[in-house]
A and B are shown apart, each in its own frame.
Chain A
Amino acid sequence: MSDPHSSAVADAAPITRDDVVHVARLARLALSETEIERFTGQLAAILDHARDVESLDVEGVPPMSHPFPLVNVLRDDVVGPCVDRDEVLAMAPAVEDGRFRVPPILGEEP
């Protein structure tokens, strides 16, 4: 994509099985072989439909990520009531010493 304003969608290659495997890993989803096949076809169809925007001229059009211009919202730095820690931890899958407990991060012995 040498020119960022060219028809960018047209330049994108169709989504492949390898792409789906890669994206599933990024999204932390384990897909079965059947799911990989099905998602590849379905995502390809959806992305292909999205190519209808190629007929629109978007050169120089600014992106709109939000309905209204977002500005910083400031407030006075005053301590107020907050969510109760015990109530939050009571809903966690595993806790220890007032904290969320997770298995080892790197796989070594805890």
Chain B
Amino acid sequence: MSATPNDGLTTAASIARAVRAGAASAREVLEGYLATIEGREPEIHAFNLVLADEARAVADEIDRRVAAGDDPGPLAGVPIALKDNLCTRGIPTTCSSKILEGWCPPYDATVVQKLAAAGAVSVGKTNLDEFAMGSSTENSAFGPTRNPHDTGRVPGGSSGGSAAAVAAGFAPVSLGSDTGGSIRQPASLCGVVGVKPTYGLVSRYGLVAFASSLDQIGPFAGTVEDAAILLDVIAGHDPRDSTSIPQAAAPVAPTLHDGVEGLRIGLIAELAGEGMASDVLGRLHAAAAALEAAGAKIGEASIPAATYGLSAYYLIAPAEASSNLARYDGVRYGERVDAPITGEMMEATRTAGFGDEVKRRIMLGTYALSAGYYDAYYGKALKVRTLIARDFDVAYEQFDLLLSPTSPTTAFRFGEKTADPLTMYLNDVCTIPTNLAGHAAMSVPFGVGDDGMPIGVQILAPALGEVPMFRAAAVLEAAAPTTGEVSA
């Protein structure tokens, strides 16, 4: 971003440092980002809603507090974009679905409260595939988001708006949610850092549920350090989420630059061959070489059931979704299509309110859970999930971290994969196993493909393995070739 109006304050770390020290004002920083949004948002459509006036009020309050001698916190004055499936009190939260259009939650998600307490400034709600179901943002009821590196291509999904917002310089950091790769895949396609934390590390309270045993909130950032700072702010036990991990996890930022000397890192054999584009594999092997040069011990790891994760996921996630989305019935919130009888009203409401992909997944999940098919599909998928978790357990006896591509290809063109849902689902083969196991993983940009589009490398860690995972990410970031910057 050569023409940024932010005087070099393009990272969360530098903004917070300057604002806390009184060397920059949160309002000035914000105005710079709002100007960038105004310039390019019509072309990108990263946001469902830009909160310019609300953000100005928050930024002014932060500046007042700094002037009064207060410390607003580790994200003081840092603009942040929020995926539009995170509840924001009194502010529309749509999940990019017609069925929730205009709905304003009566409470804030825990992560939204934590961001406010840390001094962050929310600049808007970002676009997503409807209810986070998709890998391209083409399933949004409000139109797709465009990849800032090439607006003829998708940004990935489902958190495509959050990834594009960071890539386009609309905010230094953003939050997304990852159920089967929805943070990591768009991060890879947009050339930014994306983190799927260990299941239970970040509270899901106020995250609109898609598949509750898989969903996890996580950061997007332009740098590994910013992702680390943001993760440390949003992590932690929350009594309002019964699946939240009770014990405190070690923060990742303090040890970020400790290097990878002696770390054992395994390349996942099953995800490093068939089905992966050759330029993607080229970047993967270059990343492994960079880690080795930094002192890591690189070996070949095997997760024999990894590629079967796709089949398990596309039964488990829709099954959970079909149950979670039963609540959209026109009774308590969102749109209602009137009919003389309640049952008819519910059917008319859901038929008009849900888009094609959401209907397809509800149908798939309802079928997988229905009498006569439960054992054959859902039951079997849960057993495959066990196999994948066991494979990881075995691999992590030998390795501290694992490595794979994040996405089999670079960003694809609009419409390229919409005709056949299965083709779209195959995008998620590298990211899904982590969600099934409840582990951590992140995507770090590591150069570009033959088409000049960004390629990310995925670092996988066992549950609560974020500390070494971030150390490896910092090493990769330092070794990454400088990719072509997004021209504004």
Contact = CB atoms under 8 A, between A and B. Distances in A.
A40 to B, nearest CB: 10
Nearest to B244: A73
A47 B336 CA distance: 32
Given A75-B239, A104-B341, A61 B386 contact: yes
Interface string A84-110: 100110011110000010111111000
B375 A29 contact: no
B364 interface: yes
Contacts of A75: 239
Nearest to A87: B106
B377 A9 contact: yes
A24 B354 CA distance: 13
Interface string B420-441: 1110010000000000111100
Interface in A32-61: 35, 39, 42-43, 45-47, 49-53, 56, 58, 61
A45 B422 contact: yes
Contacts of A29: 347, 350-351, 354, 359, 362-363
B342 A105 contact: yes
A28 B329 contact: yes
Contacts of B242: 70, 73
Nearest to B305: A56
A103 B308 contact: no
A87 B107 CA distance: 9
A91 B386 contact: no
A7 to B, nearest CB: 9
- Greatest chain B CB density within 10 A among A4, A66, A73 is at A66
A10 B170 CA distance: 50
B5 to A, nearest CB: 38
Interface string A56-87: 10100111111110100101000000011001
A27 B375 contact: no
Given A58-B380, A58-B384, A65-B382, A84 B106 contact: yes
Contact of A53 (B104, B340, B384, B386): B384
Nearest to A1: B375
A88 B331 CA distance: 12
Interface residues of A, number: 58
Contacts of B332: 88, 92, 100
A108 to B, nearest CB: 9
Nearest to A57: B387
Given A46-B425, A83-B106, A58 B343 contact: no
A35 B360 CA distance: 10
B379 A8 contact: yes
A20 B373 CA distance: 13
B133 to A, nearest CB: 13
Interface stretch (B56-64, B309-317, B453-461): B309-317
Given A58-B387, A103-B345, A105-B342, A42 B107 contact: no
A19 B315 CA distance: 16
Interface of B: 103-104, 106-107, 199-200, 213, 239, 242-243, 245, 305, 307-308, 310-312, 314-315, 322, 329-336, 338-348, 350-351, 354, 359-360, 362-364, 366-367, 370, 373, 375-377, 379-387, 389, 420-422, 425, 436-439, 463
Given A23-B363, A49-B311, A53-B384, 10 more contacts: A8-B376, A26-B370, A31-B351, A43-B364, A61-B383, A63-B385, A67-B463, A70-B243, A83-B106, A92-B331
Interface of A: 1, 4, 8-9, 11-12, 15, 19-20, 22-24, 26-31, 35, 39, 42-43, 45-47, 49-53, 56, 58, 61-68, 70, 73, 75, 83-84, 87-88, 91-94, 100, 102-107
